[in-house]
Structure 1
Amino acid sequence: MPKPEPGQAAGTRQLRGALARRSGRRAEVWAAIWLMLKGYRILGFRLRTRLGEIDLLAQKGGVLAVVEVKSRLTLADALAAVAPEQRDRLRRAGAAVAGGRPRLKAMAVRLDLIALAPGRLPQHRPDAWSGA
């Protein structure tokens, strides 16, 4: 197998990264639309906090949903794609956002998952890791 030209590997990596970011943004848009169809109000999109990025921040009634969006072949793969450390970080980020906004302080913060798979409707899993 021929060796890549200098700089070619970096260019391939950059292209893969750009394609992954575009795919991720598209998945987040689909997830937001799905949540709005279910009656959620989207409060934040790709919300950066000091604790990490929240894909979607949504509200329905007295619940503030910190929503992680994963595009995988199965729901099980999507659930497994979020490590315990990331879940803890997302929970803390959601609590920090809620605590910093008077209108959100009294809400219950919940960690949800929207799983997207090719050729299938999005799957919303409220409180996706409640036992974990």
Structure 2
Amino acid sequence: MSNLQDILTNNPGDELSDEELLLYLEGKLSPEAQHALEAKLVDSAFMNDAVEGLEAFSSKQHLNDYVLQLNKQLHQQLHTRKQQKEKRKIKDLPWLMIYVVIVLLLCILGYVVIRMIRA
């Protein structure tokens, strides 16, 4: 669940938080921190694409609202997929197995009867 709430970071090893990204976009980072963040961006194509996408937003103040909305939509989409996957499962699997065994036994019995008649 915590992974769903943090779409701005690719994996925990990158150590790049939402706050750092937002401060970078607003130009409020110190030169050293900005340089360190840009070095991380060079190493990660995902992070670089994320920053480019975030820079495309015209309203930086509403960026957090957009992130929350995306997280909500992502959570809803994943929940819907999970429900669909549950529906596709065979719920009466024990009965299905019993039916398969009965059909196989009837086939074997029919084969044996046919072999006895020919003999």
* TM-score greater than 0.5 by the shorter chain: no
**TM score, norm. by length of structure 2:** 0.25
Tell me which structure has the larger Cα radius of gyration. 2
Which structure has more strand as a fraction of its residues?
Answer: 1
TM-score (norm 1): 0.23
